[in-house]
Every structure is written in structure tokens, then in C-alpha cells.
Amino acid sequence: MNWFVDPRKMRMPAPNEALPGRSEAIRVPERHAVLGSSLRPPYPAGSEIAEFGMGCFWGAEKLFWQRAGVVSTAVGYSGGYTPNPTYEEVCTGRTGHIETVRVVFDPKKVTYGELLKIFWEEHDPTLGMRQGGDKGTQYRSAILTRDKAQQLEAEASRDAFQASLKAAGHGTITTEIRPAPEFYFAEDYHQQYLKKVPNGYCPNHATGVTLPADFFKSEAAAQRAADAAKAIEQAR
């Protein structure tokens, strides 16, 4: 990944600075190399989608495909301007995209909150446009939410994790939490990369700080869920 970085890659490009991209989607395999499930939609009935940016997407994807209840995972690019970007284009810093992991999960077997716990604990969300030595806009931390319920739960988890970070002497969270933009699948060789290259690049930038195990089982969590359901109903 990127160790020596042009300073221009450390700032978001303006829309008129972005590369033009293309109308054709990047081709990817039909099946997940580990789970054997579909990489693209449609996904199984009842499944839900979560999307996260937490630095290099190779290691991040493996964290989630190992979790029981996860149906499928894929890596791609989100949050920028360039349609159907290539990896080389994203690395220029001129697309504005984040290296993103899509997690398709069965909410009866693993909750969104449990996935958020993995997200917060397995990277450093205070670093802005980098993770460790990986520097550039593509490495910024992000939770890209699919509905109001996810947005509220993500924001609540951020606030709780910030309190734990502060107590441990860490800085302020820079994670973007916003509705998910279009997800562009990354190239074939990036999908389940650490299955294909078992000893491949996989840095660990975890802070060692944890989100309380009972955070998503508390009365406050139940209230957040009720508030989210109410907000969704009012929006219809």
C-alpha cells in the first residue's frame, strides 16, 4: 500500500478535479472465494447490508467473513465522485473514494451492533486520512449507513467509543457516518485477497480500546432501536 504519499492525496478533491471514470462496471466473480455465496445482489431474503471503511480493505474484509452470521463480503470503493473507478485511479487521490468493505449479514445470527463493535475495535478511527503508514483519502474511516436505524446505532456507538478512547488517552474520532452512496465493486484480485494470498499485507491498527460488550444489549440500546423504528415510520 502507499507509504510515501503526495500531499494532494491527503485532501478530498473537488468534484471538478475528479477523474471521469467510466460507465462500465468492474467485472467480479459470481461467488465468494471463502463462503461460496453470491458476491453481488440479489442477496438471500432477510439479509441486511453494512458498509465500512477502516483502512486497507484486504484485512478488514477478512475480519468480517470470519464472523458467524455473515452471509457474504466484498470490497469496493464508495464516497467519491468517479464512477466505476479502478484501484489505480483510487490510489491517485483524484476519485475521492474510500476503500470499503460490504458486509451482507443475517440479523437473526449477528446484529448490526456486533459488526459495529468489530469496526471500532479493529482500527484507529482518530487518524483522519490514514491508517498507520497507509496515507490518503482512500484510507479514511467511515460507516456508510443503509437506513435510519443503522445511522442512529452507528452514532450512538461512536459516542460510546469516543468516551472509551478519551479515557485511554486517545484523540477525537474522525469517522464519517452518513448514508451509503453507491458502492463500486473492486477488481477480482482484491476480492477475498487474504484467501488468495494468505501471507499478504494485513496491518493491524487497533487501539486496544474496546466497546463495552453489553453496549448493544442495554436498555439504552432498546430505546435507540425504538427511536429508530419510530423515525422510519414517520419518514414513510
Q: Are the CB atoms for 202 and 57 separated by under 8 Å?
A: no
- The answer to whether 202 is a known catalytic residue is no
Contact partners, residue 144, CB within 8 Å, separation at least 6: 51, 52, 53, 78, 79, 100, 176, 178, 179, 180, 181, 183
Nearest C-alpha neighbor of 50 from the set 120, 117, 104: 104
Three cell numbers, residue 235: 419518514
Q: Check 18, 39, 56, 149 and give the catalytic one.
A: 56
Amino acid identity at 1? M
| Spatial separation of the C-alpha atoms in residues 96 and 98, rounded to whole Å | 7
- Find the farthest-apart pair of alpha carbons in the chain and give their distance in angstroms, rounded: 49
| Spatial separation of the C-alpha atoms in residues 113 and 11, rounded to whole Å | 30
| Spatial separation of the C-alpha atoms in residues 159 and 86, rounded to whole Å | 34
Nearest C-alpha neighbor of 105 from the set 182, 177, 52: 52
Backbone angles phi, psi at 103, to 5 degrees: -120, 115
Contact partners, residue 50, CB within 8 Å, separation at least 6: 102, 103, 105, 112, 115, 146, 150
| Residues assigned a catalytic role | 56
